[in-house]
Amino acid sequence: MQSQLHHVIRYRIVADCITQPFRNRVVVAASILSLAASVTVSAQIFKETELWKKCTTTTTDYILEVPASLVPAQQPGVADCVYRSEDGEFNVEAAEQVDAQTLDAKMQKELDLLKGTVTDQKKGDNWFALTGVSADGTEFYRLHYTNGSQWVSLRMTFPHSKAKKYDDWVDRIDKEFVPFAKGEEKPAEEKTTTTKKPAAVTKTAESPTKVPPH
């Protein structure tokens, strides 16, 4: 009887030695999964509660909306809305220019200026968009709108290697940007749809996202 009891106790000790590491691995794995879920939820909450601010001037027609964390980066004598992140990685600006150039002429001028770095392009009745990566690894995203007598441009740049980091910013800035806001009552059904780079330049020519003033 004592011998049988001894064998039972010995078996339990050996079994515990074998299963304990497995139990520990299960506990560690569960902890990692829980931490990952917590980080994901926290990131989503931050994304939804991030503050944004609008920029316009007394001399321009557009409305630019940017994250509140961006700081003004206007040069002396420049009245347009220009912002950058504190580390200088992300830059966004809106500019207005009195110019009666045709859409095709303006687009070709921009293509020549960017010297073969454009990877995607698209145009509509009153707008065109270009995106690409420069030789130094800077990704650029440019949207240009015209009402026939003036052009409004939206430009964004950031490191191509960190494109995913700034995807949400680019999407929302593009979505909320209004090139010709003064005197324009924009119907709800014409509100811009969120797009992703470079899909933002694949909007169909029949459905421009912005409407020029009447």
> CA–CA separation, 65 vs 172, rounded Å?
8
Residue bearing the bigger pLDDT, 104 or 33: 104
C-alpha 164: how far from its chain's center?
Answer: 8
Residue bearing the bigger pLDDT, 32 or 65: 65
Name all contacts of 101-110 with Cβ < 8 Å and 24+ positions apart.
101/146, 101/151, 103/127, 103/128, 103/146, 106/144, 106/146, 106/151, 107/144, 110/142, 110/144
Taking only the tens place, the pLDDT of each residue in 79-129 is 789 999 999 999 999 999 999 999 999 999 999 999 999 999 999 999 999
State whether 73 and 41 are in the same domain.
no
In a domain, 127, yes or no: yes
In a domain, 188, yes or no: yes
In a domain, 13, yes or no: yes
State whether 43 and 98 are in the same domain.
no
Q: In the predicted model, what is the mean pLDDT of the chain?
A: 76
pLDDT of residue 90: 98
Taking only the tens place, the pLDDT of each residue in 45-54 is 445 678 999 9
Percent of the chain predicted with pLDDT > 90: 53
Residue bearing the bigger pLDDT, 40 or 22: 22
State whether 63 and 20 are in the same domain.
no
Residue bearing the bigger pLDDT, 25 or 148: 148
Q: Which band of pLDDT confidence, cut at 50, 70 and 90, is reported for residue 34?
A: low
In a domain, 212, yes or no: no
| pTM of the entire predicted model | 0.66
Number of folded domains in the chain?
2
Taking only the tens place, the pLDDT of each residue in 170-190 is 999 999 999 998 755 444 333
pLDDT of residue 16: 56
SS3 state of residue 22: helix
The yes-or-no verdict on residue 29 having pLDDT over 80 is no
In a domain, 210, yes or no: no
Count other C-beta atoms under 10 Å from residue 27's C-beta.
Answer: 10
pLDDT of residue 144: 97
ω into 187 cis (within 30 of 0): no
> CA–CA separation, 87 vs 60, rounded Å?
28
Q: Which domain holds residue 25?
A: 1-49
Taking only the tens place, the pLDDT of each residue in 193-206 is 333 344 444 433 33
In a domain, 173, yes or no: yes
Determine the average pLDDT of the residues in 143-170: 96
> CA–CA separation, 60 vs 106, rounded Å?
20
pLDDT of residue 79: 76
What beta strand segments (E) does the chain contain?
52-55, 64-67, 71-72, 81-84, 91-98, 118-123, 127-133, 138-146, 150-159
